[in-house]
Amino acid sequence: MPASTLPLPDPRPDGEPATSPAAGRLGRHSKGLTHELVEALGGQLRNGAIKPGEKLPPESEIMQTFGVSRGVVREALSRLQAAGLVQTHHGVGTFALESTAEGRFQFLPATGGGITEMLDMLELRTSVESDAAGLAASRRTDEHLRKMRSALDDFEQHLAAVGETVAPDFRFHLAIAQATGNRYFSELMGHLGLEVIPRTRVSSSWLNVEKRAQHLHKVNQEHQDIYAAIERRDPEAARAAMRIHLVNSRERQRMAHANPLPADGRGTEA
């Protein structure tokens, strides 16, 4: 089926996000436009509206159809690729893949139990990634460090926009897994994909704009501590820094959702 005939909803003439049973009205939920676009396109991929082997519409068409920016489209396609639903060939396009996830371990898109699932995943990640950081400190190369540094620099450049930090956050953790020299660490992270990052799984509506920035600055500082230990080849410090980061992340999520932001928007710092 040609990309132009895929069953995507028509754009609204006034430029507002489109509304249809397939996509819903983007921008109405607190999880953000990227999450909603992933759900809309992912639903079409899973129900066969977009069949395996078919090419998805170009970025410009998805932007117009759903009333979102190019950055949102690219992030959504990146998450779909990480989930094994699509494959992007640069210069050619993005194609739907045959689903092979049935019966395999997978981290499914969040449902009503999203926060519980995220806390469980952070608990698992604490065990796996702490040891990965220790190994990375012993085995990393200068190229591994360059990848980590690039991800951290990208993260810092987007501290003001919550959604934009997800991809560099994941790239940093993936680069550490790759630096272990053990393919199973990197394959596990690659299989789990961007949804291991809490901000893709649960709403950040418990934070006002100021507190979101504070939250991300804390995450950034924890990342910097991990990087510093790996750079100086200190396995114990790297292992401890990663454990602190993921335990803190789990505790921030747990506390925030136990004490949601009140109606006046003030709340307590996570």
pLDDT digits (tens, 9 = 90+) for 49-81: 888 888 899 999 999 999 999 999 998 998 888
Give me the chain's average pLDDT, please: 78
Instruction: Find the helix packing angle between 59-66 and 70-82, rounded to 10°.
Output: 110
CA-to-CA dists, residue 200 to 101, 136, 170, 203, angstroms: 20, 26, 11, 8
Q: Which amino acid is at 202?
A: V
pLDDT tens digits along 135-172:
999 999 999 999 999 999 999 988 866 557 888 999 99
Helix (H, G, I), strand (E, B) or coil at 261: coil
Domains and CATH numbers, the chain: 3-96 (1.10.10.10), 114-258 (1.20.120.530)
**What pLDDT shows up at residue 253?**
82
The Cα 1–Cα 57 span in angstroms is: 11
The arithmetic mean of pLDDT across residues 230-249, rounded, is 97
> Which tokens hold the place of 192?
């789990």
The Cα 194–Cα 174 span in angstroms is: 10
**What pLDDT shows up at residue 125?**
95
**What pLDDT shows up at residue 30?**
42
**What pLDDT shows up at residue 123?**
93
User: Is pLDDT at 209 greater than 50 in this prediction?
Assistant: yes
Output the DSSP codes for 17-43.
PP--TTT--TT-STT-HHHHHHHHHHH
pLDDT tens digits along 186-202:
888 887 777 788 877 65
Which residue in 203, 205, 200 sits closest to 262, CA to CA? 205
User: Greatest CA separation found in the chain?
Assistant: 58
